Amino acid sequence: MPEIRLVKAVSEYNGSYIIEGRSFQNAGRVSNEIKKILKARGISETVVRKVSIVVFEAEINIISYARIGVIKFEVFPDSIIIEAKDEGQGIADIELALKEGYSTADAEVCELGFGAGMGLSNIGKFSDFFEIQSDVGKGTYLKSIININGKQ
């Protein structure tokens, strides 16, 4: 019988960003920063684009619906993991929230051009793995994995 070895993958880079709710003037800053980091590391344009979309959508959701949140990302040799966790209103019906066009955005969010109901569906679409958990009145957690050398 062949020997089984467990190998813990070591990340090549990681970062963490705190995002304040309702800070619309900062929308897109985290996704732009991560895009620069990934480009400097020689990550393919296709993967950089996917990561940028996932992070931007998560960032906008935190700004629009939470008091505060954090986005973390880690770069591994074969994948990039993005995690977003917030302290906010939470999502009452995740299945409904994942449908394109469904939105609970308030007037201010919509007036600023956000709240089209594409955030979570875009995160799912551009992720190779996507997980979301939410507690109403407490907040939301999501995890996205994007393969670097996998399906693109």
Would you call 114 helix, strand, or coil by DSSP?
Answer: coil
pTM of this prediction? 0.92
Residue type present at position 42: G
Supply the pLDDT for residue 152: 40
Report the DSSP beta bridge partners of residue 140: 134
Q: Which CATH code for domain 13-147?
A: 3.30.565.10
Give Cα separations from 108 to 4, 23, 113, 135 (angstroms).
55, 12, 9, 24
Supply the pLDDT for residue 9: 76
Supply the pLDDT for residue 149: 83
Supply the pLDDT for residue 94: 97
Q: Which regions of the chain are under pLDDT 50?
A: 151-152
Would you call 92 helix, strand, or coil by DSSP?
Answer: coil
Q: Indicate the angle between helix axes 119-126 and 45-65, nearest 10 degrees.
A: 150
Read off the tokens for 107: 């007037």
